[in-house]
Structure 1
Amino acid sequence: MQPDVLFRELHQPGRPLVLFNIWDAGSARAVQEAGASALATGSASVAGALGYEDGQELPLDLLLTVVRRIRQSSDLPLSVDFEAGYSDDLNQIAANAARLQDLGVVGINLEDGIPPEQGIRPAREHAARIAAIRDRTDLFVNGRTDLFLQNPATRHADLIEDALARASLYAQAGAGCFFAPGLADAGLIATLCRECPLPVNIMAAPSAPPANELAALQVARISHGPFPWRAAMAALTQAAGEEFRILA
């Protein structure tokens, strides 16, 4: 089966694809050896590992270098966090996405947040970006909304209607999945999964339900975002600190 077809078929509500997000070729090998069905980068993780802040501060050419090394290290289907497309021009966004496809990438995340957290792009503008990419490539586009990330949890119930309207537009534009990072309330996740025209992607986080509960809510994809990289860096800091203290 072709990697892009396999990747699409892995998005099954109730039997979610788990993506333990990676940041380089070494982490790709580790996650593959742990039993992953597919791989996905996280923008904050890739940027942080190279000394950059999240929010498209990492140069696109450097991202492509990282992706190239990951593809040379693994033959699993690979999705790349493409942030907001690295341009405001539709033709350039599509051309940037085509460069990823040329490296063997099968999917991308494309967010409607304006980096770095400068508000939310109008839904139709973001849909036009998705459509431009789909016109130029066969990439599986994970249409991400930052509505829930950029608003407190107390407002999330009021944002579900907006999120569903966005999901409908993103689906019409050619998106294959709808990503709602920051949404952690089980009841709201269930509503989104029930009414969304696309398979739903939720981010695993300390405040979110565990994987088995997300599966029961009919989530189709679980992303771990920056948390694996943060955990690895915390473990490194702790191990180094313990050694330094012993010899102090």
Structure 2
Amino acid sequence: MIQIESLSAAYENRTVLRDVNLSIYEKDFLGIIGPNGGGKTTLIKTILGLIKPVMGNIQFYRNGQPAESITMGYLPQYNSIDRKFPISVEEVILSGLSGKKALIGKFSREHHAKVHTVVKRMGLQGLEKRAIGQLSGGQLQRALLGRAIVSDPQLVILDEPSTYIDKQFEARLYELLNEINQECAIILVSHDIGTVLQNVKSIACVNETVDYHPDTGITTEWLERNFHCPIEIVGHGTLPHRVLGKHEH
């Protein structure tokens, strides 16, 4: 679906990514991990076309043939959302269908019906008219996830989706992502290594460059090599933890 070759990208005149090579496949479920500042968000913004590469190439494919683009849904980091913006839950999700209508046209009855279905899927019934500023963190994340999937994209990209999600919905979130993965590919960016490893099909560590692993059977040595510090994964039932060993930096 996406072939990234020899890609370098900069943010605020600083090279953040260099010589990145990565393939993303149809119905893939790729987890992206890495240290803070390693370039995870820069990579996905480059895939989305929000940042132009300094060097390298991103090639998209549709039905195995080269294409100029693919349809993508995006759930940004929670702290990038202006909660004071006067927009309702229904309008947030509906905005994900903007590319399906004429620029100055109205949303159709079918569009509104699709939004109603997604509202129910996200567990937001009764909150359709509520302003986003009146939502809990978890409710807002659900609305934004609904916006990301409402257009039935070929790829959904989620940047730290479990941030501020209430614990009651967290398990349902990953159930939903597994359901969505039956319909499209997913890229999930997260600092929660243990949870990522339990849910994705493949893993990539981003720390200026990318080290890709085709499954989730990674070793502690692989993690330490990519994070540049000692790391240990400890599982406690269904609540895995990431533990950083003693290190000077």
TM-score range, shorter chain: 0.3 to 0.5
Identify the structure with the greater strand proportion: 2
TM-score normalised by structure 2 residue count: 0.35
TM-score, structure 1 length as denominator? 0.35
Indicate the structure with greater helix content.
Answer: 1
Task: Give the structure with higher Rg (CA).
Answer: 2
